[in-house]
Amino acid sequence: MNPKRIFRLATMGDLPVIMRLIDEARAIMRSCGNVNQWIDGYPSEETIKHDIDNGHCYLCVERDSGEIVASFAFIPCPEPTYKEIYEGNWLDDAPYHVVHRLASTAASHGIFNDVMDYCLVVAGNLRIDTHRDNVIMRHVIEHYGFTYCGIIYLLNGDERLAYQKRI
């Protein structure tokens, strides 16, 4: 794990910073041609408040400056949309955690690896999904060593590419 970054649970007081991170991440997606993910106000303040209320919203903080550079949801199974997977299979049926809604500043580097390193210490079996057009996220997921497992569908019917990593 990166000793320069720490992780903590988010509080409602962090909501404005989290929403700014989400807006910044959405802008990064759009600049890379991913115009179909995180649309129609998703993720909304209500979604993030729900994550915070349930103890699932985490922040990545620069140790020296105290700057919040990333937020993400880290949720224990089951993930309802992962019950069915198409054109593939999960690696196992063991308990897992899901990482959702990862957002970071454009200036921060290595966030994905730091977040995954943290999550794997807490839970040795992770699942994650992303939009087919999210080339950056697909690259970092695959580079980190996640295995592509197949396609899942969100509750609204949207397709996502699903991955799993276990230690």
CB atoms within 10 A of CB 104: 23
For the segment 14-34, what is each residue's pLDDT rounded down to a tens digit?
Answer: 999 999 999 999 998 898 888
Lowest-confidence pick of 8-12, 34-38, 106-110 = 34-38
Beta bridge partner(s), residue 8: 59
Tell me which residue range forms the domain holding 139: 5-166
At 36 the pLDDT is 83
Asked whether the beta carbons of 115 and 102 are under 8 A apart, the reply is: yes
Cβ atoms of 87 and 150 closer than 8 Å: yes
Q: What is the pLDDT of residues 72-120, one digit of tens each?
A: 999 999 999 999 999 999 999 999 999 999 999 989 999 999 999 999 9
Task: Verify cis geometry, omega within 30 degrees of 0, for the bond prior to 16.
Answer: no
Taking the whole predicted model, whether its pTM rises above 0.85 is answered as yes
**What is the overall mean pLDDT for the chain?**
95
Structure confidence at residue 40 as a pLDDT band (50, 70, 90): confident
DSSP H or E stretch at residue 112 = helix 111-122
Write down the pLDDT at residue 3: 84
* pLDDT at residue 38, as a whole number: 87
**In a 3-state reduction of DSSP, which class is residue 70?**
strand
Which residue is it, tokens 């996220």?
A: 137
In degrees rounded to 5, what are phi and psi of residue 112? -55, -50
The residue among 114, 113, 73 whose CA lies nearest residue 97 is: 73
Per-residue model confidence (pLDDT) at position 35: 85
Residues 127 and 63: beta-carbon distance below 8 Å:
no
Question: Which pLDDT belongs to residue 34?
Answer: 82
Name the domain count of the chain. 1
Q: Which residue has the tokens 């996640």?
A: 146
From the number of C-beta atoms within 10 Å of its C-beta (0-12, 13-18, 19+), residue 20 rates as middle
Q: Which of 30-34, 47-51, 86-90, 142-146 has the lowest mean pLDDT?
A: 30-34
